[in-house]
Amino acid sequence: MTPEVIRRLPKTDLHVHLDGSLRLSTLIDLARRKKTTLPSFTEAGLREIVFRDHYANLSDYLAGFQYTVAVLQDREALERAAFELCEDCQAEGVRYVEIRFAPQLHVRSGFEFSDVVRAVDAGIRRASRAFNARPEVASGREPRFAAGIILCALRAFTPEHSEGYQRIFAALPEASPRELGLAASIQVARAAARLRHDEGLLVVGVDLAGQEHGHPAEEHAQAYQVAHEAFLGKTVHAGEDYGPESIFQAIGMLHADRIGHGTWLFDASKIKEGRIADKRAYVERLAQFIADKRITIEVCLTSNQQTVPELGADLARHPFAEMRERRLSTTICTDNRLVSNTSVSNEIRRATEAFALTDREVRDILIYGFKRSFFPGTYLEKRAYVREMINFTDRILETPQPIP
């Protein structure tokens, strides 16, 4: 499968963070306009100092977000970032993307939670209209572009994170960290439901992100029940820096439809709960449950390799290989296009090389992305959209390709 074929294939990105996917040129431009300090004001300098190819650990990987979040504090910046992210996706053949972010990180006086989401929604709609109006798309020769929004709650935060979190601490001065975390995630779930159903924005689901260790998913069960009762899509960062029991909490207690990362799904040595006596049996049953229920894992290969020292330089060691062997539902995602210096096409190319994927296997993975998306239309509209992508994919793969 040549790079050109990969580029032409319709793809999804169901796990991509807005604040981790800015264009470097945009980050520099916004920082200059807003007089925000950066370690360097050149793209080469930022690549050398902040957004590198290798990171020491997850904390090192996340350090660059302090700069991207700092410049995304008004409507213009957020709308621009969302618009450009959609453009970058469109340019490499991504035809459906779910952009996730934590609105509470961008709240300030005069710019409230709903205003943040509306700004991102406006950027997505503008990019979608422009792309779908192209003659080759309007005529049906090229597939349409669509997108959704996922709102993120955070497992851990401090008042220093944003004015939005300062308000939560001020409103609940006697609350424990667990109570504060739940209150913040309930705010996200309720806002997601209201913005989706009352305002008709492109909000399609909720996510729980941040450090897993010491901040179990079960603490946010009530918030996810709110999202569940509002018929929203539910995804959870789990198994990224904690063991299989974190993944089970996401599925069993938070009703997760999809799992972000799931890196340690098969590693029984990562299980910490003493009540689990037979750790290997626990892993086997969990993997079987995920397979049987078709719970999709959002796989982020480059990001995992950059943040998980155990993977080293050999991508073939990634558990994606075992996920494929067990026929789990997986979809390949970028996580953060800027921070990981990647694209969906690059992730597919790397997966194809590291795991010797056949054209048929790549096709199935791409189609899983469309099928397991939280598409913002009706079920019948989604079925028609998925069929459109399947037909276009099959036409590309059935066309003889020149020998490179």
Candidates 66, 191, 186; CA nearest to 118 is 191
Residue 400 lies in a domain: no
Q: What is the pLDDT of residues 98-125, one digit of tens each?
A: 999 999 999 999 999 999 999 999 999 9
Residue 397 lies in a domain: no
Q: Partners of 100 in the beta sheet?
A: 17, 150
Amino acid 272: pLDDT: 87
Q: What is the pLDDT of residues 268-286, one digit of tens each?
A: 999 988 889 999 999 999 9
The lowest-confidence range among 205-209, 322-326, 338-342, 399-403 is 399-403
What CATH number does residue 295 fall under?
Answer: 3.20.20.140
Amino acid 351: pLDDT: 97
Amino acid 400: pLDDT: 54
Rounded to an integer, what distance in angstroms lies between the CA atom of residue 342 and that of residue 199? 34
pLDDT band per the 50, 70, 90 thresholds, residue 404: very low
Residue 326 lies in a domain: yes
Sequence-separated (6 or more) residues with CB below 8 Å from residue 175: 183
Residue 167 lies in a domain: yes
Provide the domain count of the chain.
1
Residue 402 lies in a domain: no
Residue 401 lies in a domain: no
Domain, as residue range, for 90: 3-392
Is 240 annotated as catalytic?
A: yes
Rounded to an integer, what distance in angstroms lies between the CA atom of residue 174 and that of residue 33? 39
Residue range 153-157: average pLDDT?
93
Q: What is the pLDDT of residues 1-18, one digit of tens each?
A: 899 999 999 999 999 999
Specify the residue for token string 């049996």: 281
Rounded to an integer, what distance in angstroms lies between the CA atom of residue 375 and that of residue 387? 13
Residue 97 lies in a domain: yes
Residue 180 lies in a domain: yes
User: Choosing from 98, 212, 240, 298, which is the catalytic residue?
Assistant: 240
Candidates 287, 291, 320; CA nearest to 303 is 320
